[in-house]
């Protein structure tokens, strides 16, 4: 048996929530000397799950960066921050990073508001959220690492999040 054996070390997860982020106009800053950045501000939304549900508060945002990937695809990273308010009044601060892989033809469709739906099997949006709250009812979130997958929607994005257990 190797010291690098993965037996018995598989990650397990449980559904945490599905979050639908409403996003205003996405502003492309364009390629600077350092990166190609866009900015999108959250205008609202909703999250629902087995252990928490509530509203996504307006005012947060995502400051993603992108670069050239394989076969003309765009690869990107997320830099998102927002606040949630649970149905029972707790405020939760969420940050996430992640990675995206958007083929060139899908990127064209993403930029076209007349095409609100693009088959999510044609691109990847993967995130790794972390949470912060002072509310004792949700203190378990402070030690929770989550992963998620997402899809673009008209007016925003939806992420399915899973707590790593």
pLDDT tens for each residue of 15-61: 999 999 999 888 888 888 878 888 999 999 999 999 999 999 999 99
Distance CA 124, CA 82 (A): 21
Q: Which of 62, 53, 63 is nearest to 22 (CA)?
A: 62
| CATH code given to domain 13-164 | 2.40.160.20
User: What average pLDDT does this structure show over 66-85?
Assistant: 91
Confidence of residue 113 (pLDDT cuts 50, 70, 90): low
First vs last Cα of the chain: how many Å apart? 25
According to the model, what pLDDT value does residue 49 have?
Answer: 98
Asked whether the beta carbons of 117 and 154 are under 8 A apart, the reply is yes
Residue with tokens 């998102």: 80
Q: Where are the domains of the chain?
A: 13-164
Q: Which of 38, 124, 54, 34 is nearest to 94 (CA)?
A: 54
Backbone dihedral angles phi then psi of residue 64, each to the nearest 5 degrees = -75, 155
Distance CA 96, CA 66 (A): 16
Asked whether the beta carbons of 15 and 47 are under 8 A apart, the reply is no
Q: Which long-range contacts (CB under 8 A, 24 or more apart) does 34-41 make?
A: 35/65, 35/66, 35/67, 36/65, 36/66, 36/67, 37/63, 37/64, 37/65, 38/63, 38/64, 38/66, 39/63, 40/64
């Amino acid at each position: 048996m190797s010291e690098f054996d993965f037996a018995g070390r598989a990650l397990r997860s449980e559904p945490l929530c599905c979050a639908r982020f409403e996003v205003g106009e996405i502003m492309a800053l364009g390629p600077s000397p350092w990166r190609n950045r866009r900015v999108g501000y959250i205008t609202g939304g909703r999250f629902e799950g087995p252990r928490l549900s509530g509203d996504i508060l307006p005012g947060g945002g995502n400051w993603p960066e992108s670069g050239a990937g394989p076969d003309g695809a765009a690869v990107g990273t997320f830099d998102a921050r927002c606040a949630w308010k649970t149905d029972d009044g707790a405020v939760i601060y969420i940050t996430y990073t992640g990675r995206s892989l958007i083929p060139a033809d899908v990127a064209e469709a993403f930029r076209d508001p007349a095409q609100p739906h693009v088959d999510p099997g044609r691109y990847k949006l993967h995130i790794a959220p972390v949470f912060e709250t002072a509310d004792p009812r949700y203190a378990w979130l402070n030690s929770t690492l989550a992963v998620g997958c997402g899809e673009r929607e008209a007016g925003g994005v939806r992420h399915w999040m899973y707590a790593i257990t």
